[in-house]
Amino acid sequence: FSRRFVAGDTLEEALQVVEALEADKIHAILDLLGEMVTSEEQSRQFQAEILRLIQALAAKPYPRYVALKLTQLGLDLDEALAVELMQGLLEEARKTECFVRIDMEDSPRVDATLRVYRRLREAGYTNTGIVLQSYLKRTERDLEALLPLKPAVRIVKGAYKEPPEVAFQDKRLIDGQYLVLAKKALENGLYTAIASHDPHIIGEMKRWTTERGLTPEQFEFQLLYGVRRDEQKRLAAEGYTVRAYIPYGTDWYPYLSRRIAERPENLMFVARSLVQG
Ligand code: FMN
């Protein structure tokens, strides 16, 4: 039995999924599920659990890469706490060349997330990167402001329900803005993760990067574990760097709710695995 979108409750189960994907040349982004914690104690517990993940990856021969959310590390309680806990993680991660991606959450948290990222860069940590969401009207300005830092970026459409004041609602605008952001990031020399399952976006970015002569050292594709598995294999077989985002843990409710909101057919997969699980 394997679950469709979540690798399992435990780190050990998640690492088995990684081994299977590596056989297809797909690398892993490991994500311990958890977000919007309401106490310092919970934040510290999550940090300890992510440290355990980073340490477990240290022994592995494949690329080491984790993702987390700053509200998992207490961002809503105290920004300084999130910075402190991130520093502890990045210190450990840098020993083994492990990359730590800071996922982007909903719009009220974007400013704080970007501030924490800047603080970490000022403190000298380069093994971390951010996410930019094409549905937000502010994002092109955010990208421009960040350019001098040469951040590693992941471009996504955005997964949260956002009001029309801050976010485009029209799919064509969101998709158009996605391509604008991804190309602008690449034109400015940022290492860019193109995170989408959208055939139009993947196809256009393949075409454009080929036309520009970009190499696998400059960008990669990222998809979610369990989504378009054949496309993941195909891209990897074509020689692109491909990473799958692999969530694990017991706090899966918000994650699966977003997957169902963006694609209602996913409800079937989720319901089936709950029944079988
Ligand atoms: N959405 C966010 O709002 N923040 C994130 O940090 C985020 N990370 C993602 C990472 C990966 C690897 C992928 C594939 C998606 C991520 N998403 C994130 C979800 C996207 O915003 C979007 O909801 C989802 O990919 C569906 O859109 P698509 O048609 O482009 O695939």
Confidence band for 277, pLDDT divided at 50, 70 and 90: low
User: Atom of ligand 1 at shortest distance to CA of 201?
Assistant: 30
In a domain, 3, yes or no: no
Ligand 1 pocket residue status of 68, Cβ below 6 Å: no
State pLDDT tens for residues 44-66: 999 999 999 999 999 999 999 99
The answer to whether residue 270 sits within a structural domain is yes
φ and ψ at residue 158, rounded to 5 degrees = 115, 135
Domain that residue 136 falls in: 11-276
Residues in the chain: 277
Does a structural domain hold residue 6? no
Instruction: Name which residue sits closest to atom 21 of ligand 1, judged by CA.
Output: 158
Distance 71 CA to ligand 1 centre (A): 17
Whether 103 sits among the annotated catalytic residues: the reply is yes
Indicate whether 229 belongs to any domain.
Answer: yes
Question: Are 50 and 34 within 8 A, CB to CB?
Answer: no
**4 CA → ligand 1 middle, Å:** 16
Question: By percentage, how much of the chain surpasses pLDDT 70?
Answer: 97
- Is residue 149, in this structure, part of any structural domain at all? yes
In 104-228, alpha helices (H): 110-122, 139-146, 171-187, 199-211
Least Cα distance to 108 among 30, 36, 51, 185 occurs for 36
Tell me whether residue 165 is in a domain: yes
272 pLDDT above the threshold of 80:
no
- Is the residue at 1 inside a domain? no
Q: Are 90 and 128 in contact (CB under 8 A)?
A: yes
Per-residue pLDDT of 201-222, as tens digits, reads 999 999 999 999 999 899 999 9
Is 121:93 a contact under the CB 8 Å cutoff?
no
Pairing mode, if any, of strands 192-195 and 128-133? unpaired
The residue with tokens 């094409």 is 134
Beta pairing, strands 153-156 & 192-195 = parallel
Q: Using pLDDT thresholds of 50, 70 and 90, give the confidence band for residue 1.
A: very low
| Residue among 69, 81, 143 nearest 106 (CA) | 69
Run of H or E residues at 23: helix 11-23
Query: Which residue, 63, 114, 119, 56, is CA-closest to 87?
Result: 119
Tens-place pLDDT, residues 77-128? 999 999 999 999 999 999 999 999 999 999 999 999 999 999 999 999 999 9
> How high does pLDDT run on average in the chain?
95
Give the pLDDT score at 41. 98
Lowest model confidence (mean pLDDT) among 54-68, 219-233, 247-261 = 247-261
- What 8-state DSSP symbol labels residue 9? S
Report the nearest atom of ligand 1 relative to the CA of 263: 26
What is the C-alpha R_g of the chain?
Answer: 18
Would you say residue 71 lies in a domain? yes
Residue 127's CATH number = 3.20.20.220
Determine contact, residues 63/26, Cβ cutoff 8 Å. no
The total number of structural domains that make up the chain: 1
Q: Are 51 and 89 in contact (CB under 8 A)?
A: yes
